[in-house]
Every structure is written in structure tokens, then in C-alpha cells.
Amino acid sequence: MTAAGFDVRHIDLAAADGDTRGGRALSIFWWKDLPLGMRASLHDELPYGTPQLRQLAAEYAAEQLEARSIRLGAPLRATYEGWPKPALSLAAALEAENLVDSLEEFATVSSASAQDISVVICTRDRGPALADCLFSVAGQRSAPGEVVVVDNSRDGNAKAVCGQFPDVRYVHEPRAGLSVARNAGIKAARGEIVAFTDDDVELHPSWTAEIARAFADRNVEALTGLVLPARLDTAAQCCFQFAMGGFGTTFVPLTFERRFFEETRPSGAHVWKIGAGANMAFRRSLFERIGLFDERLGAGAAGCSEDSELWYRLLATGGACLYEPRAVVFHHHRSDWPGLRRQIRAYMKGHVAALVAQYDNFGDRGNIVRICKQLPVYFLTTFVKALFEGPPGRLGILATEVQGWLAGLQFLLRFGWRKRRTPMLIPPPVAEGVAR
């Protein structure tokens, strides 16, 4: 661990004994296999004492019960901010008894069969990371029906790595672009459910089982899950996790549906709050309904946000996406500053490109408001805040974001780019129901 880093540690609050480790750490709290929350602490705040752990357990557990227990108002939908909208009533809270027992129930490990799931991993020139990822796939409690690795490198250099894993199907897609690769994966996959993860990710052993359980329990077409940091060894990784918010910090299940879409629509429907491409799954029928990933978007093309653009189409056409944090993956953030800057620039550029694509597809002006008003306001407020309050390094990242935004503006002007619509786009009648 370098001086800049945080130790990532996992604490099971169901185990009675307290944590005795000091040092700086991001502590991720669990109740057995149920993720509850996380909290970063400096050397002086650690180790956590028994009363503090008990208090954290009580507060996290209350959040879980509110979001999971039907008697307490679950399931919860997402608000404008992407947080749960509480539905707890006084009467329900007064009646509730044996709360720890119900928590135990929700923490039971899923034993659902994952035979219907095709795991698709797109990779490009990252052999060692892919190997780690595939090891974690091989260690799943419920083995998935199939594992498809789409190699997006020019020379097919992932073939050797895949050869070490007998159950992996190898598909070579030399056309560059994450969307292209993901679409190739969808076409190659045979399962009813297509689950995506990335090559810089390691899966929690119950990942596939949790996805299977969620799709069995809930009638949704799409699912996203929790993306936790695998390591925080460098300043760049910490910056991404803490200053930029990482890949989200919500630990309760949420439904993103029409109301979320309508509430956030005036500023471009905040579909990026739904989840991350490193941990998402879809029913195959969804692709038949709304089409595949937009091949102009995604890493290797416009930048990223090909995932959120698909969620946009999903919600705009009346579908719903379930965020289920029990499906956990661990992401390796970029460890060096240049890598982080490239990533942030690509995020912002891709974000703008996706907004343009969404505007083209549905004619929703909110997307343009987001590009021309919301983002500049965000840059300005972040600038003032970073100037007075820090953290150090935030200004540099902000400059990169602005660069990405400027680079993204070209998509507004590129007429030829805008004319090309998503393949297999939804038929007009459905779109009509959405556009005003």
C-alpha cells in the first residue's frame, strides 16, 4: 500500500467480534453475503469500536429492511437523485418485530440455477486482467450456461488466455468499439439472459446466482448491480472512488421505471444513475424489442455511455430496470493519472454523444438542455467548490471533463453522424407514446 492509498477491507457485521485493524481504509460492510454499505475512514478513526459497529449495523440494516421487506413498503422506486424513495409508514415500523431475523432471511445466499445465463465479457489487449476475471467466473457458486469472451483486439491476443479455461467460448470481433463487441456477444450468446461484465472486473462468487434469482423474482427486462472498488492503492484510484463517486454508492435495491424517466426528463433523463456496464444483465427478448447497443457509442468509438443509452431506450419505451446490489462485482480502477484522465475524458465525451443520440432517437429536448445548460453549470459549481474546498487534484480532473465535453460537442454538429440511427430501432408507434 502506498502512502496515498486506502486499504479495501470487508467487515461482516453479523460476526460478533469487532474489527481490530488500524490504518486508512475503505470498509465495506456485509451481513454475511448481503452488502450493506461502505465507509472510508482515516487512521485516527480506526479500528471501529463495538458501539460504532452496532450503530452502523442498525442503520444499514434499517435501510435494507425498508427496501426489501414488503411489509415495510418494498420494492422502492428511484427518485430524481437515483436514491430510494422511502415508503415506510409509522404503523409498519411499530408493528415490525424480529428485524434481525428478517435481515438474515434477505442475506440468504441464492441457490438459483444460472443455466439460462450467458456471461459476455468483452476484452481488448488486457490478457492478465482477463485471466483474473475468468478465474472469478469459474468460481461462481452457480455455473452460468455459457461464457462468451469477445476479443476486440486486432490480432486476437486473448485467445491464448481463453484457451486456459475449457468452458469459455471465444469470439473474435476485429471491428473496434465496445458496442460492436457487445453486439457480437449478444449474437453469439444462446442463453435467455445475457449478463455483461468487463475484463477489468472480478466477480463475487454469487454473481450469476443473484442475477438468476433477481430475474426469477421480478418481472423486469434489465438488471444492474453493485460495482465495488477492488483496490485503492493509488491516488488516482482514490480520486475516482471518492471525488468522482466511483460507480455508485447505493446498497439497496431500486426500480428505475417510467416515473424516474419522467421526473428526470427535463434535464435529459438521468439514466447513467441506473448502473454501470461492468455489471449489467438483460433478457434476450429486450434486444428484439428495442435493438442492440448503438455502435457509434462506447469505448473505442465515441467514448462510453452505450450502456446508459440502451437504458434510455428501455425506460422511454415503458420498460423497467432493477438495480440489485446483491449482484456484486469488484472493479479495478485505473491506477495511473494519465489512465484516469483518459477515462474521464472518454466518459464525458461519450456522455455528450449519447445525449445527442438520444435526442436524435426520441426528439427529447432535455438531452440538449443537459449538454448546453446542466453540464456547464455543473462545471462552474464544481470549479468554485474545488477552488475553496478541494480536494487537491479535483481541478485537473475538472479540466479533463471540460475537454471531454468540448470534444463531445462535435457530435451535435456532425450531421452525417446524427443521420445514422440505431440499428433495429423501435417502431414509431411506441416512440409516439413517449414523445409529447
Partner 1 sequence: MSYKLVEIELSEPLATISLSPQQNGVGVVARWRGRLIGFEMIELPAGSAVTVERLNSLADERFARRILVAKLEEELRKRQPVKEAVLPSLSIAICTKDRAQRLSRLLGSLDRVRTEPTFRSVEIIVVDNASVDATTRDAVAGFRDVRYVFEPKAGLDFARNAALHAAKADIIAYLDDDVVVDRNWLEGLAKACGDNPGAGGFTGLVLPFRLDTEAQILFERRGGFGRGFARREFHNARFENPLHPVGSGVLGAGCNMAFDRALLIELGGFDEALDTGAPLPGGGDLDIFYRVLRSGRPMIYEPEYAVYHEHRETIPQLRRQYWTWGLGMMAFLVKSYRTDDEMRARHRAMVRWWFFDQFKALARAASRLRGDEMRFGLAELCGGIYGLVGEYDRSRARIQAIRERNP
**Residues of this chain that bind partner 1 (CB under 8 A):** 16, 39-45, 49-52, 54-55, 57-59, 61-62, 65-66, 72, 86, 88-90, 92-94, 96, 98-100, 388-391
Cell numbers standing for residue 7: 486499504
Instruction: Give min distance, CB of 106 to partner 1, in A.
Output: 13
Cβ proximity to partner 1: between 31 and 293 the closer is 31
Residue type, 399: A
Residue 206: which residues within 8 A CB-CB, separation 6 or more?
33, 109, 110, 140, 141, 142, 326, 327, 328
Instruction: Give min distance, CB of 227 to partner 1, in A.
Output: 21
Cβ proximity to partner 1: between 9 and 284 the closer is 9
Q: Within its chain, how far is the Cα of 256 from the centroid?
A: 13
Cβ proximity to partner 1: between 18 and 127 the closer is 18
Distance between CA atoms of residues 65 and 106, nearest Å: 8
Cβ proximity to partner 1: between 59 and 288 the closer is 59
Instruction: Give min distance, CB of 53 to partner 1, in A.
Output: 9
Instruction: Give min distance, CB of 48 to partner 1, in A.
Output: 9
Instruction: Give min distance, CB of 66 to partner 1, in A.
Output: 7
Cβ proximity to partner 1: between 68 and 283 the closer is 68
Inter-residue contact 215 to 302 (CB < 8 Å): no
Residue type, 362: F
Inter-residue contact 71 to 96 (CB < 8 Å): yes
CB neighbour class for 75 (10 Å; exposed up to 12, middle 13-18, buried from 19) = middle
Cβ proximity to partner 1: between 18 and 156 the closer is 18
Cell numbers standing for residue 129: 486482467
Cβ proximity to partner 1: between 8 and 297 the closer is 8
Cβ proximity to partner 1: between 39 and 284 the closer is 39
Residue type, 102: S
Cell numbers standing for residue 383: 470549479
Would you tell me the crossing angle of helices 337-362 and 306-316 to the nearest 10 degrees? 30
Radius of gyration of the chain, Cα coordinates, nearest whole angstrom? 21
Instruction: Give min distance, CB of 180 to partner 1, in A.
Output: 41
Residue type, 145: G
Instruction: Give min distance, CB of 361 to partner 1, in A.
Output: 38
Instruction: Give min distance, CB of 226 to partner 1, in A.
Output: 21
Cβ proximity to partner 1: between 113 and 382 the closer is 382
CB neighbour class for 71 (10 Å; exposed up to 12, middle 13-18, buried from 19) = exposed
Instruction: Give min distance, CB of 47 to partner 1, in A.
Output: 11
CB neighbour class for 85 (10 Å; exposed up to 12, middle 13-18, buried from 19) = middle
Enter the DSSP assignment of 274.
G
**Look-up: residue for cell 492509498?**
5
